[in-house]
Amino acid sequence: MKKLLLGLLALPALASAQLICKDGSTPYLPTTPTTSVIAIANDAAMDAALNNAKGGEVFQLADGNYSLSLANKPYPVEVTLQGSANAVISAFASASNVSNLTIKGVTFKGKAAQPQGTYLLKPENTVNLKLIGVHFMGIDQTMTGVYPKTGTNVGTVFDGVEVANLYDGLTLGSFKNLVVRNSDFHGLGADSMKVWNSSNVLIEKNHVHDANHAYLAHPDFVQLQSGNSNVTIQDNLIEGATQGIDNFGFSASPQTNIVVRRNTHIQANYPNFVGLFNVTGSITDNVVKQGTGGYPLIRYSGGISVSNNTITK
């Protein structure tokens, strides 16, 4: 009788264990990973932190001045460097052969009276570099915000960035899987973006306004230079005396699957909203308001389809 009772008592315990098992034999106990935030007080501490990071760290910069020159750091998982807009990284910052680095909130600040082509940040051969809510701030419209000189960058994201008071904003050559979204471009002397030799590019929900014409007669929102493919430019707002999207001067090299859709261009007083030649893709569902340019505001050639665009004077 005792043996029978012991067996009956064991059965509920076995059934209960099976109910909390994921696969019938091993208990499933979900866990929530935690990441500590490591305070960084000065430039030397930032250099040491980034050079010794193993992956997964979050570094919080105190307000102050910093310089960034990071090379050969293929972090296996994301490393985050974050701070307020008063955490200022000086011009000529660089990230070379770096993977899985996210930079949030800080300011990349220019210097005065620099030659054109000098840069605030030079990324080269990076993988999964993310710039979130950062500020690329020039002083006198002589510098460029981002300018890779060599190499290929894969998986780069610019999200919610401010690009201001520079000559060119973002010059993006040899990028793959590039995203530029939710960003504010203003006070630029030339082009907001230049893109060349890049593929799988998404440019969306950006705002371009208050271009300055001290250096260039008709600055562009996006200048598509040669060698691009699979580029989508959508849901952007372009305001003021600037051109929209064009490849003038680069039409000898064909570009494929360029999609321009659902953009709004207000006060398009310059030659065109879109000028794409020797290009395949589509130009659809765009709105151009108050256009007074001397040319047709949508100009194109090649195998590109154009439909359902609205132009009002």
| DSSP 8-state code for residue 118 | -
Can you tell me which residue has the tokens 């910093």?
66
Give dist(CA 178, CA 261) in Å, integer.
18
Q: Give pLDDT tens digits for 192-235.
A: 999 999 999 999 999 999 887 665 556 899 999 999 999 999 99
Q: Report the CATH superfamily, name and number, of domain 36-312.
A: Single-stranded right-handed beta-helix, Pectin lyase-like (2.160.20.10)
How would DSSP label each residue in 237-268?
EEESS-EEEE-TT-TTS-EEEEEEES-EEES-
Q: Identify the pLDDT of residue 24.
A: 53
Q: Give pLDDT tens digits for 262-292.
A: 999 987 666 678 999 999 999 999 998 876 6
Give dist(CA 94, CA 72) in Å, integer.
11
How far, rounded to the nearest angstrom, does the alpha carbon of residue 199 sit from its chain's CA centroid? Answer: 14
- Domain residue ranges of the chain, discontinuous segments joined by +: 36-312
CA-based angle 165:127:121, to the nearest 5? Answer: 20
Can you tell me which residue has the tokens 């800080």?
106
